[in-house]
Amino acid sequence: MRGFGIASAAAALMATTSLFVSQAAVQNDVDPIVIKDSKFFYKSDGIQLGIAYQQDYQGGGNSSSSRSDNQYTDPLQIDNLKRDIPYLKQLMTNTIRVYAVDPDMDHQEAMSMLADAGITPARNDRLYARYTAVIDEMSKYSNTLGYFAGNEVSNQPNNTDASAFVKAAVRDSKAYIKKQGYRDIGVGYATNDGADTRENMANYFNCGEPENAVDFWSYNIYSWCGDSSFTESGYDVRTEEFSNYTVPVFFAEYGCNNEVTPRTFTDTPVLYGDKMNDVWSGGTVYMYFQEDNDYGLVRVDGNDVKPNQDFSNLASQFSKVSVTGTQMSAYNPTASPAECPEVSTSSWAAKATLPPTPNQELCSCMYNSLKCVVSSDVDQDNYGDLFSTVCGLGDGSQCDGINANATTGEYGAYSMCNSTEQMAFVLNQYYQAQDSSNKAVNGAGAASSETGGSGSNANSSGSFGGSSGAMTAIPSVEFGILPVAFMATVAAVSGFGMLLL
């Protein structure tokens, strides 16, 4: 299971960027998927299988998110798809999950190929500067199903404060999609199956105002191995837990990962059977490519594809699936959103109050108003040490304006600015506290320089931040998105309706 850490999450939210909006359109549109309460439906006819598809990108366990943008290869490339689509069709696939794409690439031909084959992609990006670019690029295609705002960010009680930042990313993604006038495309989250966090996680992302909550919820679950059962695997308990959830739920990753090989996938007919089909919208098998983690369905060598025993076993189990869909017109659920979990020192650390939305105008105005900023000669890799030094001086109040505390729900007005803007803010605060002494700031280990700023408090941006960075008003929504994962949908294949797998 792919994860990314709180440091990456916070850094992503702090970053700001300008937007580039493309108006290109895909030529061969397919029937888009819409969400009604806890179900996915095709828009035109109201009818309600899948593979994780990304090479050289490890999953099946928690990982850090330190990889840089150029350390992955966009899997949605024409030659790759020509090679792999025939095998995906053998598995009756109509959804793929893609974890990272290059938003600067043109995906029109790739998405058209997937649409023609009846397949759905998904992927995720790390940097804020790419989040809106991913949405701009993929919203052009009618077979884009949705975006993941994060994957296993909070996976144990002591890092659940990170969920406030991810939920803010959900809010900001949805607001950006609406602001740009794109069709309604869901924004959700993929969580791990952790006994200590799963109930609070599901409730937290579902509670509160609809514009802040997820549009779908997905589960990375590996509890069914070999000849397990509906009850032995815990699938029965998970199904009961989500029986009244108000948005679609599905398995974002599934398939045994405890070194039982070959994997039999005997849970697949159950997932699509009477015991689970009313609650779950299918699942995505982990994974297509054979990697070092040994969870692949095929081995790829150049243009040669060799299916392994897992592939045959999965195809056999898919052949047993017979899905009965639900007509959208006949679907009228009565469930209500969950209550937000209470903050607890032992189990939950995120208050319902969310961080402010990144506001480039505010941050730029603040930065341009400063008398003292960090020198461009200071390496950004050293910012962490510099923050620790400056924020440890005196009573530390110089850093109040950039602090973010998800547990108390308190966020400085500039807590969503990028690290350079924040570094400049705290240096300027300390500089002013020391009677504008360059010696004092340089003594803190930072080269500083005069900017010629007017010393204003960024009030031209709406009086959001005072001179200390205290929040004096809530910034209006502009944009700001955590690592986004993307999902695309396409027409059904082999007579199956659209199922997230």
CA-based diameter of the chain, in Å?
A: 76
- Contact indicator for 282, 39 with CB cutoff of 8 Å: no
Token pair listed for 212: 């802040």
Q: Which residues contact 313 (CB under 8 A, 6 or more apart)?
A: 262, 263, 264, 265
Contact (CB, 8 A) for 451 and 370: yes
Annotation says 211 is catalytic: no
Q: How far apart are CA 226 and CA 36, in angstroms?
A: 35
SS3 414: coil
Where are the extended beta strands (E) located within 194-271? Answer: 216-221, 249-254
Beta bridge partner(s), residue 124: 485
Residue 152 annotated as catalytic = yes
- Look at residue 307 and give its three-state secondary structure: strand
| Per-residue b or e along 474-501, where b marks 16 or more CB atoms closer than 10 Å to that residue's CB | ebebbbbbbbbbbbbbbbbbeebbbbbb
Measuring CA to CA, which residue among 376, 327, 367, 395 is closest to residue 455? Answer: 367
Say if CB 448 and CB 375 are below 8 A apart.
yes
> Mapped to the 3 state alphabet, what secondary structure does 37-61 carry?
CCEEEECCCCECCEEECCCCCCCCC
Question: Active site residue: 137, 253, 421, 478, which one?
Answer: 253
CB 172 within 8 A of CB 479: yes
Structure tokens belonging to residue 307 = 């299916």
The catalytic position among 152, 259, 410, 421 is: 152
Q: Which residues form the catalytic set?
A: 152, 253
